[in-house]
Structure 1
Amino acid sequence: MNSRRIDRIATVIFWSGALAVIFFLGAIIGYILYHGGKYIDWGFLTKPSQAISAGGGIGPQIFNTFYLLLLSMSITIPIGLLAGVYLSEYAGTNKLTEAIRLSIETLNSLPSIVVGLFGLLVFVNMTGWGYSLISGALALTVLNLPFMIRITEVSIRGVPDGLREGSLALGANHWQTICRVVLPAAFPGLISGVVITCGRVFEEAAALLFTAGMASPAMNFNQWNIFSGSSPLNPFRPAETLAVHIWKINAEGLIPDLRRVADGSAAVLILFVLGFNLTARWLGRRIHRKMTAT
Structure 2
Amino acid sequence: MNPKTSDQLATGVIYALVAAVIGILIFLLGYILMTGIPHISGHFLTSAAQSFRAGGGVRDQLFNSLYLLVLTLIISFPIALGSGIYLSEYAPENWVTSLIRTSVEVLSSLPSVVVGLFGYLLFVIRFGMGFSILAGAIALTFFNLPLLTRSIEESLQDVSELQREAGLSLGLSRWKTITGIVLPAAVPGILTGIILSAGRVFGEAAALIYTAGQSAPTVNYGDWNPMDSASFLNPMRPAETLAVHIWKLNTEGVTPDAAQISSGASAVLIVVILLFNLMARLLGNWMYKKMTATR
The answer to whether the superposition gives a TM-score over 0.5 is yes
> Unaligned regions of 5+ residues in structure 2, if any?
none
My pick for the range that moved more, 21-30 or 2-11, is: 2-11
1:289, 1:3 → 2: CA distance? Answer: 44
Shift of 1:231: 0.4
> Unaligned regions of 5+ residues in structure 1, if any?
none
**1:51 aligned residue:** 51
Letter of the aligned partner of 2:241 in structure 1?
T
Corresponding residue SS for 1:79: helix
**1:181 aligned residue:** 181
2:10, 2:276 → 1: CA distance? Answer: 34
My pick for the range that moved more, 139-148 or 96-105, is: 96-105
Shift of 1:4: 2.3
Shift of 1:260: 1.2
1:3, 1:138 → 2: CA distance? Answer: 54
String of CA shifts for 1:168-205, please: whole Å, max 9, x gaps. 00111100110111111111110110000000011100
Letter of the aligned partner of 1:273 in structure 2?
I
Letter of the aligned partner of 2:28 in structure 1?
I
String of CA shifts for 1:148-175, please: whole Å, max 9, x gaps. 1111111111111111001100111100
**1:16 aligned residue:** 16
The aligned runs of 1:139-178 (5 Å cut-off) are 139-178=139-178
The aligned runs of 1:1-294 (5 Å cut-off) are 1-294=1-294
2:240, 2:254 → 1: CA distance? Answer: 16
1:53, 1:106 → 2: CA distance? Answer: 44
CA contact (8 A) 2:44 2:58 kept: yes
Letter of the aligned partner of 1:209 in structure 2?
I
My pick for the range that moved more, 86-95 or 229-238, is: 86-95
String of CA shifts for 1:27-86, please: whole Å, max 9, x gaps. 111111111100100000010011122111000000000000011000111110011001
Shift of 1:12: 1.4
Shift of 1:16: 1.2
2:136, 2:273 → 1: CA distance? Answer: 19
1:239, 1:49 → 2: CA distance? Answer: 13
CA contact (8 A) 2:44 2:56 kept: yes
1:147, 1:52 → 2: CA distance? Answer: 39
1:18, 1:83 → 2: CA distance? Answer: 34
Corresponding residue SS for 1:98: helix
1:6, 1:163 → 2: CA distance? Answer: 40
Corresponding residue SS for 2:189: helix
Shift of 1:94: 2.2
2:252, 2:27 → 1: CA distance? Answer: 28
1:278, 1:2 → 2: CA distance? Answer: 45
Q: What is the aligned-residue RMSD (CA, Å)? A: 1.0
* Percentage identity across paired residues of the two chains: 50
String of CA shifts for 1:213-246, please: whole Å, max 9, x gaps. 0001110111111111100000000000000000
Corresponding residue SS for 1:97: helix
My pick for the range that moved more, 18-27 or 133-142, is: 18-27
Shift of 1:142: 0.3
TM-score, normalised relative to structure 2:
0.97
Corresponding residue SS for 1:162: helix
2:26, 2:96 → 1: CA distance? Answer: 45
1:9, 1:292 → 2: CA distance? Answer: 42
Letter of the aligned partner of 2:148 in structure 1?
M
Shift of 1:281: 1.3
Shift of 1:141: 0.2
2:257, 2:282 → 1: CA distance? Answer: 37
1:184, 1:224 → 2: CA distance? Answer: 35
My pick for the range that moved more, 219-228 or 189-198, is: 219-228
Shift of 1:289: 2.2
